Structure 1
Amino acid sequence: MDVPKLLEAASLLVPEDIATENDITVNDVWDYLIHDEWKVALDLLEQLGDVPPLTQSFWETLAAAAEQMQLWNSASWCHWRCYETRNGTIRADLTLRPADQSRRRTPFTGAGVLRPMWDIGNRTPTGERALNIARLWVESKPSLGPGERSPVRLAPLDPSQWLHLQPGQVITMHEDHTAAGTAVVLDVDHPRLNPAP
């Protein structure tokens, strides 16, 4: 399927009565599609995908369109949202430790590549601390460096291990045996509470 048809298909999955905070609606998307402004249409559809969160099919279709346009960051974001649709959303406010207090000396890309370990309160059968792996997406920034702070999204390797998380809970990020940062959980939307169609 070509890009315009993919974007049209995604547009048809957006309810007509929803709008973003900036009053963007699916009708705005259609205006850009008519004028072959595919990148703008894709950007608007990504924004509409949050009001309310849309289906996995919507995000898969957007990911395919972004890949065909070779917009790799958009494609990665759409795949990330597919994961969240299936497994739930975990958002947290992460503060990294300064470079002189942790292993990390340079910023890391914020586009879901880093897979740190997290102390989320789980224990092994013998009572020792268990660390759980989750990919990390930095919101509104291309990267995050030592001493910096940003809202992030987490994609756990095993979502079932994270079901106990609650807003306000403090979790610790590890890249080795020392703490790399701490995060306060902002939002948790488990799939068992909000199943995806």
Structure 2
Amino acid sequence: MDVPKLLEAASLLVPEEIATENDITVTDVWDYLSHDEWEVALDLLEELGNVHPLPVSFWETLATAAEQMQLENSAAWCHWRCYETRNGVIRADLTLRPASESRRKTPFAGAGVLRPMWSIGNRTPTGEPELDIARLWAEFTPTLGPGERSTVRLAPLDPSQWQHLQPGQLITMHEDRTVGGTAVILEVRPPAGTSTA
């Protein structure tokens, strides 16, 4: 399927009444599609997907369109949102330790590449702290370096180990056994279509 058809298919999954903060709706997407402004249409669809939970097929379709347009970051973000739709959303306020106090001496790419370990309160059978792995996506930050702070999204390797987290809880990030950063949980949302009741 070519890019315009993919974007059209994704737009059909967006309810007409949904609008962004700037009053962008699916009608605006169709307008850009009619003028072959595919990248703008993709960006608007991503924004609409942030306003209202949409199915995995929406994000999969956008990821395929972004890949065909060779928009690597958009494709990575859409794949990330597929994961969150299936497994839930975990957002936290992360502060990295300064270079003088941690293993990390250089910034890392913020777009879901780093897979650090996290101390989230789980214990081994012998009572030792257990470290759980989760990829990290820094929101609105292309790179994150020692001593810096950012809101991040976490994609756990085993989401079932993270279900106990609550907003306000403090967790620690590790790239080795030492603490590389501390994070305060901001938001925990179950997978789309799952009730919290």
- TM > 0.5: yes
Correspondence for 1:27: 27
Q: TM-score, normalised by structure 1?
A: 0.97
Q: TM-score, normalised by structure 2?
A: 0.97
Equivalent AA in structure 2 for residue 173 of structure 1: M
- Deviation of 1:51 (Å): 1.4
Matched positions, count: 195
Correspondence for 1:101: 101
- Deviation of 1:50 (Å): 1.4
Secondary structure in 2 matching 1:137: strand
**How far apart in 2 are the matches of 1:171 and 1:55?**
30
Equivalent AA in structure 2 for residue 128 of structure 1: E
Correspondence for 1:10: 10
Secondary structure in 2 matching 1:166: coil
Deviation sequence 1:143-179 (CA, Å, 0-9, x none):
1000000000000000000000000000000001110
Correspondence for 1:38: 38
**How far apart in 1 are the matches of 2:164 and 2:49?**
26
* Cα contact 2:86–2:192 (8 A) shared by 1: no
Equivalent AA in structure 2 for residue 183 of structure 1: A
Q: Which runs of 5+ in 1 are unaligned?
A: none
The 5 A counterparts of 1:103-118 are 103-118=103-118
Alpha carbons of 1:67 and 1:45: their partners in 2 closer, same or farther (altered >3 Å)?
same
**How far apart in 2 are the matches of 1:3 and 1:58?**
14
- Deviation of 1:190 (Å): 2.0
Alpha carbons of 1:193 and 1:131: their partners in 2 closer, same or farther (altered >3 Å)?
farther
Correspondence for 1:151: 151
Equivalent AA in structure 1 for residue 21 of structure 2: E
**How far apart in 2 are the matches of 1:28 and 1:192?**
25
- Deviation of 1:53 (Å): 1.7
Correspondence for 2:133: 133
- Deviation of 1:43 (Å): 0.3
Q: Report the RMSD for the aligned CA atoms in angstroms.
A: 1.1
**Percentage of identical aligned residues:** 80
Deviation sequence 1:19-65 (CA, Å, 0-9, x none):
01111100110110000000000000000001112110000000000
Aligned pair 1:179/2:179, yes or no?
A: yes
**How far apart in 2 are the matches of 1:144 and 1:192?**
29
* Cα contact 2:93–2:150 (8 A) shared by 1: yes
Secondary structure in 2 matching 1:70: coil
- Deviation of 1:194 (Å): 2.5
- Deviation of 1:191 (Å): 2.5
Aligned pair 1:59/2:53, yes or no?
A: no
Secondary structure in 1 matching 2:94: strand
Alpha carbons of 1:130 and 1:84: their partners in 2 closer, same or farther (altered >3 Å)?
same
